[in-house]
Amino acid sequence: MTVEEFQEVLGVSFVNPYLLEQALTHRSYINEQADDLVEDNERLEYLGDAILDFITADMLYRRYPEMSEGVMTRVRSALVRTDSLAQLALDCQVGAALLMGKGEENSGGRERANNLCSGFEAIIGAMYLDRGLDVVRDFMLPRLTKFQTLVMDEAISKDARSQFQEWSQAEYNITPKYKSISTTGPEHKKEFVVEVILGEQVVAKGKGRSKRNAAQSAARAALNLVKNGDLSL
């Protein structure tokens, strides 16, 4: 697919088509070209990623005035995660338009989720530079709305342990561990105390009538520390 054809698929005309061509240029394509003027899409991808985060956060903030920061964060993450953006890229036929090396193409590069996601983010970066934020917002909001109902229930219903694990893996690449440290009370009314550990550090404790509930309580306590900026390793 040519750049001109791809603009018709997008429904957005670029003042400077070179920006769109750069957005569609995978790094593997550069390795096979003698032209030093050709640039890959990685810088545009970086820019587009930040713009998508902003537009999505702005949309959620305006549409859901009662939604908490934690829920907005989870919904935003679900909307702009690799799989979601790769699906948007498929809808826009990004795979057919990407410029890539023969080796990458022959190994299934046009269907690879990471390539599609990166290409889509780069297109958003190029669109922002070429046409401005309002055009990007008009392009993205209907597409974000399409996924919104699909991810909303999943994002809102995630339990505290799942939320804390997502945060700890993103922040420190560590999976939390939970350890039962005491059990008190008679058999019919036991109370468990569980601590949550990151690496070698105990970060919070929780109580509950079962080990599961105590672990959830510990995770909620840890999330409160994160929210208040009081958790660091």
Among candidate residues 49, 104, 130, 195, the one labeled active-site is 49
State how far the alpha carbon of 63 is from the alpha carbons of 66, 104, 141, 160, 209, in Å: 9, 41, 12, 24, 38
Among candidate residues 40, 121, 130, 195, the one labeled active-site is 121
Return the residue matching tokens 């008009």: 138
Dihedral sign for Cα 14, 16, 19, 24, please.
positive
Annotated active-site residue 35? The verdict is no
Which residues on adjacent β-strands are paired with residue 195?
179, 205
State how far the alpha carbon of 187 is from the alpha carbons of 191, 192, 211, in Å: 9, 12, 14
> In terms of DSSP bridges, do strands 177-184 and 201-208 run parallel, antiparallel, or are they unpaired?
unpaired
Annotated active-site residue 83? The verdict is no
Active site residue ranges? 49, 121
